Amino acid sequence: MTDASLQDAPIPTTAYEPGMGDYFALMKPRVMSLVVFTGLVGLLVSPVAVHPFIGFVAILCIAVGAGASGALNMWWDADIDALMKRTARRPIPAGKVAPGEALGIGLGLSGFSVVLLWLATNALAAGLLAFTIFFYAVVYSMWLKRSTPQNIVIGGAAGAFPPMIGWAVATGSITIESVLMFGLIFMWTPPHFWALALFVKTDYGDAGVPMLTETHGRDSTRKHVLIYTLLLVPVALGLAFTSIGGPVYLTVALVMNAWFLKGAYDIWKRDDAAAEADSYAVEKGVFKVSLYYLFAHFVALLVDAALRLNVGAV
């Protein structure tokens, strides 16, 4: 027995002491902001009123669940993240956070967010959140990302679930409205991402990640942008004719889909020589439109919901 205290024991000093900011960066805050926005819209446009505090906790759980899947993705992809410029400064390849810590945070927050969402709302919403985390971490990160150039198509589903979860929080069900909100993000992801891939030089190839631009060529990618945009249009317009659609959404959807479709057609019509001549102006323009596209659709859904509320109150 000794009375030697901890004060005397040498405590190993590491080169870097991770702070809360480093752990927060594991959760991909920018992705979380999109998840919070679309999840909130799914919750607010539903016909069932939710207590504001329960709504707040539900959105927090969706955000934390998304962050947890981001941490699991960073844990699994640490080897390839280190090889690519865009991702080399992420906390694990930068040596700021140990891989085991990221795994622990990812698993811990996954369990926490799913259980809390279940307690606060219902089993369906919690089950959808658990499936989303599983889908992003296992189906996309561990399986599809390194094996198929269609990775972004199927993996995009993970980003499409939040409005469906928000809807399930309020209604406890899955309906045509929530399926179409899911479909809107799901079908929007490929043309949005491939428009970016056409003008940004990526090093996915160096990391062994198959991307459509490299496996099938850039002309094929241009064709894919047009095809997926054509498939997106009926989903976006169809939402206007459900219970959550309205005149504002229909107007916005008509304008934005015509704009996006024109851009996708222009991308398909030209080749890389023409694109290089104007520094990929069309591709950059379509990518920018795609950002406005999704935001405008979900804001329009909110505006129509607010209008319905006002009409109901009069």
Partner 1 sequence: MVIKVEHELHQRRKGRNTGVGLLLLGLIGIVFGLTVVKVLQLGDITEFEKFDHVARPQIIPEEGATE
Q: Residue 12 gets which letter from DSSP?
A: P
Residue (109 or 301) nearer to partner 1, CB: 109
CB of 92 to partner 1, least distance (A): 17
- Does 311 bind partner 1 (CB under 8 A)? Our answer is no
Q: Contact with partner 1 (CB under 8 A): which of 48, 88, 119, 274?
A: 119
C-beta closer to partner 1: residue 108 or 247? 108
CA distance 268 to 275: 11
- Residue 303's contacts (CB-CB under 8 Å, 6 or more residues apart) are 246, 248, 249
Residue 128 CA, distance from chain mean position = 15
Q: Is there binding between residue 8 and partner 1 (CB under 8 A)? A: yes
Distance CA 221, CA 198 (A): 8
* Binding of residue 11 to partner 1 (CB under 8 A): yes
What does the alpha-carbon distance between residue 109 and residue 103 come to, in Å, rounded to a whole number? Answer: 10
- Least Å distance, CB 20 to partner 1, is 4
Q: What is the largest CA-CA distance in the chain?
A: 82
Task: Please identify, among the stretches 115-123, 167-175, 260-268, 275-283, the one whose residues bind partner 1 according to the rule CB under 8 A.
Answer: 115-123
Return the residue of 1, 2, 15, 20 that touches partner 1, per CB under 8 A: 20
Nearer to partner 1, 51 or 85 (CB): 51
C-alpha to C-alpha distance for 23 and 193, rounded to whole angstroms: 27
Residue owning tokens 């799913």: 114
* DSSP 8-state assignment for residue 137: I
Find the shortest distance in angstroms from Cβ 112 to partner 1. 9
Q: Is 116 a residue that touches partner 1 (CB under 8 A)?
A: yes
Query: Minimal distance in Å, beta carbon 60 to partner 1?
Result: 8
Judged by CB under 8 A, the chain residues 79 through 98 that form the site for partner 1 are none
For residue 168, which amino acid is it? A
Using the contact rule CB under 8 A, the part of the chain among 3-11, 130-138, 178-186, 241-249 near partner 1 is: 3-11
As measured in angstroms, the least distance from the Cβ of 237 to partner 1 is 38
Which of positions 34-73 make contact with partner 1 (CB under 8 A)?
51, 53-54, 57, 60
Name residue, tokens 């490299």: 214
Q: Compute CA 278 distance to the chain's CA centroid, rounded to the nearest angstrom.
A: 30
State the CB neighbour count (10 A cutoff) for residue 131. 16
Backbone angles phi, psi at 205, to 5 degrees: -60, -40
Footprint on this chain of partner 1 (rule: CB under 8 A): 6-8, 11, 17-20, 51, 53-54, 57, 60, 116, 119-120
